[in-house]
């Protein structure tokens, strides 16, 4: 396959994921185009249409959105995460464009607190916050376009790497150790999460682009769960000192999801098993960056 002529449009290329994924795909031979917050307002269809006409991408990856569950503006979750995604799909239909693949990034938070250890795509989502609800709403509406467009919806579980915003848990922890802080304030310590490497996620997106599958909703996960306290112990080992942990009630959300661990069974059945580095290596890179 001649990848050089394959145009990929990443909407949200200035995001953490977008920065890594654009380079990853470019290094694999794709022609990369992207939009950021200033160049594309996905709440405005005419703006989207102009970009689609100008670029005429063969692949589209929608990463733009409000990503933090702690974000204060509730309406923004739905205006951007839900309506923005539907504006993109509706624009493609109205322009009679048929890209080879459209990937819409949802989130594992759509599952909410289901009370099961392993979350797979057969479960009925029950989002516990506005972020998850806006993503699930997007999924529900976007599935109506499955018979008209080549769509895959992804549900990424937590992942991290160098350059991720400090508002996310792992970068916050690493930053405190880099600064040799004596204490760190955290919320609920009794949580377990998948924390995958950003390059694992990039490889998954690349394989999904190149797959023959459409009309699918699939986890981006590895099933690699780790407790928050274990992460702190790993960082103590890397930084060669222990930090005092203080639980701040302000950081404890009533809708906190205790465990987020996904089943990669469906993902691997579509694209094959994807290996990744040990989490300690990722944390060490972030610490030394």
Residue 121, domain CATH: 3.40.50.720
Residue 34 has pLDDT above 70, yes or no: yes
Mean pLDDT of 65-89: 86
- Which residue, among 205, 215, 219, 256, has the nearest Cα to 123 in the 3D structure? 219
pLDDT of res. 217: 98
Q: Which two tokens stand for residue 117?
A: 């250890």
Mean pLDDT check: name the lowest of 25-29, 128-132, 232-236.
Answer: 128-132
Residue 3 has pLDDT above 70, yes or no: no
202 part of a folded domain? yes
pLDDT of res. 223: 96
117 part of a folded domain? yes
pLDDT of res. 255: 66
Categorize the per-residue pLDDT at 69 as very low, low, confident or very high, splitting at 50, 70 and 90. low
119 part of a folded domain? yes
254 part of a folded domain? no
Number of domains making up the chain: 1
In terms of residue numbers, what domain contains 36? 7-160+196-223+262-276
165 part of a folded domain? no
Per-residue CA distances from 167 to 116, 163, 271 (Å): 27, 11, 32
Which residues in 20-114 belong to E strands, given as ranges?
31-35, 59-62, 101-105
Q: Which two tokens stand for residue 159?
A: 């992942």
pTM over 0.85: yes
pLDDT of res. 70: 60
pLDDT of res. 254: 73
Contacts with 258 (C-beta within 8 Å, 6 or more apart), sequence order: 113, 188, 190, 191, 192
**How far, rounded to the nearest angstrom, does the alpha carbon of residue 214 sit from its chain's CA centroid?**
19
pLDDT of res. 43: 93
46 part of a folded domain? yes
Mean pLDDT of 64-71: 74
Mean pLDDT check: name the lowest of 42-51, 160-169, 186-195, 261-270.
Answer: 186-195
Q: Could you give the percent of the chain with pLDDT greater than 90?
A: 83
Mean pLDDT of 233-242: 98
pLDDT of res. 246: 95
252 part of a folded domain? no
Q: Could you give the percent of the chain with pLDDT greater than 70?
A: 96
Mean pLDDT of 115-143: 94
Q: How does strand 259-260 pair with strand 151-156?
A: unpaired
pLDDT of res. 252: 82
pLDDT of res. 4: 42
189 part of a folded domain? no
Mean pLDDT of 89-94: 98
**How far, rounded to the nearest angstrom, does the alpha carbon of residue 200 sit from its chain's CA centroid?**
12
- Which residue, among 179, 181, 156, 161, has the nearest Cα to 171 in the 3D structure? 161
Buried b (16+ CB within 10 A) or exposed e, 266-285: bbeeebeebebeebeebbbe
pLDDT of res. 113: 85
Categorize the per-residue pLDDT at 36 as very low, low, confident or very high, splitting at 50, 70 and 90. very high
Spatial distance between the Cα atoms of 198 and 214, rounded to a whole number of angstroms: 23
């Amino acid at each position: 396959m001649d990848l050089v002529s394959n145009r990929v449009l990443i909407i949200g290329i200035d995001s953490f994921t977008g920065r890594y994924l654009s380079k990853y795909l470019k290094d694999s031979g794709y022609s990369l185009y992207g939009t950021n917050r200033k160049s594309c307002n996905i709440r405005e269809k005419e703006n989207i249409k102009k970009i689609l006409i100008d670029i005429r991408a063969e692949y589209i990856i929608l990463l733009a959105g409000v990503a933090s569950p702690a974000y204060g503006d509730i309406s923004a979750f739905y205006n951007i995460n839900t309506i923005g995604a539907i504006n993109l799909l509706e624009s493609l239909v109205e322009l009679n464009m048929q890209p080879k693949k459209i990937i819409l990034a949802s989130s594992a938070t759509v599952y909410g607190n289901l009370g099961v250890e392993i979350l797979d795509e057969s479960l009925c989502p029950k989002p516990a916050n506005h972020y998850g609800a806006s993503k699930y709403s997007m999924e529900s509406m976007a599935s109506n376009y499955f018979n008209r467009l080549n769509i895959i919806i992804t549900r990424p579980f937590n992942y991290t790497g160098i350059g991720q915003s400090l508002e996310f848990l792992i970068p916050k922890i690493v930053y405190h150790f880099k600064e040799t802080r004596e204490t760190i304030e955290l919320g609920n310590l009794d949580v377990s999460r998948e924390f995958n490497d950003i390059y694992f996620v990039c490889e998954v997106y690349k394989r999904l682009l190149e797959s023959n599958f459409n009309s699918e909703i699939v986890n981006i996960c590895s099933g690699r769960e780790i407790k928050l306290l274990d992460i702190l112990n790993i960082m103590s080992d890397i930084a060669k000192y222990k930090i005092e942990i203080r639980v701040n009630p302000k950081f404890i959300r009533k809708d906190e999801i205790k465990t987020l661990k996904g089943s990669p069974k469906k993902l691997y059945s579509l694209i094959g098993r994807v290996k990744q580095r040990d989490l300690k290596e990722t944390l060490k890179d972030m610490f030394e960056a």
